[in-house]
Structure 1
């Protein structure tokens, strides 16, 4: 036996012993996402309670906020405010999405429409929707219309770019193949471009939904008589921190629920897409 074979034979058992260990580590089942979410929630509440116990900026603890939430639920105030805010967000978000999708498609499919519309879209994207509140009050009054308009603008500007990018990003090979097979532009648009753009549109809708909820509190500055933002603004005047926290948590929970519904729709509508 040569001296060169000895180290290889000696290394053989070591390698054989090491491979099963790595395989076993890879096969270890991952921690379910629900468990991780619950751990994060418990850690967040624990940190919140600890900071409140230290008296950080008179921060109310979880028990005080839960008690205030119970009072608002018992007298029906929280339900009325939540419904009012939901109505405004859903109205503005639905209108913004319904307009953003066709405008994005026009910009992506027709160069002339892109040249005409893109400067306005990019211009208004640089103007915060909240800066439109004074103009909305002057032109539309102080009723529900200006509130919905400001939310609509935030959702529209977030969704239109996603729809546009979805059309522009469609693989040209698919379009050329459809044309070779004799498909006309209308058929190509409906059967190739629209399905291929669906993931972009849904992501844009999720971003638009977040923008709509992010604009809600400012929109309810416009002489609102009910709503979560209105309730939080009134609580600010009396330094009622538990009520402010109840409003914040309610907005977060409602936004999270609507986002999860959009994610569910995204999974169902884009099953054909490759997943990692």
Structure 2
């Protein structure tokens, strides 16, 4: 099954690259503006050797992991409280929905004013994005717990604490992994905006600098690195999810 999925994924990328080459060969686009895949690969190798691309990758991965981890860690107890106590949820849900609709990049000017342009400022934007994305997933996961499980546990003499640890948490664990995957995607999507805040290193900085100096291949290199690393990290979360919730048949497919 794993080999089949790997082969299907490779075939999908093969189709994308084939279409890319066809478009380049057709002359429908300016060849100076759209480099071939092999040109992007050669530029990537050059950037690894000469431009310190590895350090850019490590900087971005560190920021994404920190922002995602902090955001999801804060969202889990918050989502539990809001869903477990409906009155609290009714009180704060409109506030959460309002803030969730605000794109992180819109907060950049305020972040600069209050936190400056350092790592704390960049990290806060990623934490914001991860928190509100994962909060909704956790909240809906806890809210979707069927009452029959709680009643059955009470009928067996379970106290509130036992219900929380032995019923609620196991049922919500799959949603926690979904929250992680969504937060990961949002953090990578927000990375370029976060690294606009005077970041010297990072894939977002690579893309921004390449755009400023019109170095088209480097833009593709930055985009390709983000896509490849995000895919690898998401695959890791999915594998961990299969182990943690192996009892769920749906996850095994």
TM-score by length of 1: 0.86
Deviation (angstroms), 1:191: 0.6
2:48 & 2:7 partners in 1: Cα distance?
29
Give the counterpart of 1:79 among 41, 54, 61.
54
Q: Deviations over 1:186-233 (max 9, x none)?
A: 110111001001111211211111000000001100111111111111
**2:175 maps to which of 192, 200, 209:** 200
Unaligned runs of at least 5 residues, structure 1:
1-28
2:80 aligns with: 105
8 Å CA contact 1:51–1:59 kept in 2: the answer is no
Q: Which residue of 2 aligns with 1:260?
A: 235
Equivalent residue number for residue 25 of structure 2? 53
SS at match of 1:226: coil
2:138 is aligned, of 163, 167, 175, to: 163
After superposition, what is the alpha-carbon deviation per residue over 1:51-74, rounded to whole angstroms, capped at 9, x for unaligned?
222341331001211111111111
**Partner of residue 16, structure 2:** 44
Q: Which residue of 1 aligns with 2:97?
A: 122
**Is 2:214 the counterpart of 1:239?**
yes
CA distance in 1, matches of 2:26, 2:124: 43
Deviation at 1:160, TM superposition (A): 0.5
Q: Where does residue 173 of structure 1 map in the other structure?
A: 148
Task: Please say if 1:146 is aligned against 2:118.
Answer: no
Q: Paired residue for 1:214? A: 189
Q: Alignment RMSD, CA only?
A: 1.6
Q: Secondary structure at the match of 2:201?
A: coil
**1:133 pairs with 2:105:** no
Gaps of 5+ in 2: none
Runs of 4+ with >4 A deviation = none
Distance 2:174 2:165 in 1: 15
Does structure 1 residue 92 correspond to structure 2 residue 67?
yes
Counterpart selection for 2:43 from 37, 48, 68: 68
CA shift for structure 1 position 269: 1.3
Deviations along 1:65-100, one digit per CA (max 9) or x if unpaired, are: 111111111126110100111111111111101000
Q: Is the 8 A contact 1:220 1:230 kept in 2?
A: yes
Greater radius of gyration (CA): 1
TM-score normalised according to structure 2 size: 0.93
Distance 1:53 1:60 in 2: 11
Residues in 1 aligned to 2:243 and 2:218: alpha-carbon distance in whole angstroms: 38
CA offset digits 1:105-125 (Å, max 9, x no partner) = 001111232133322211101
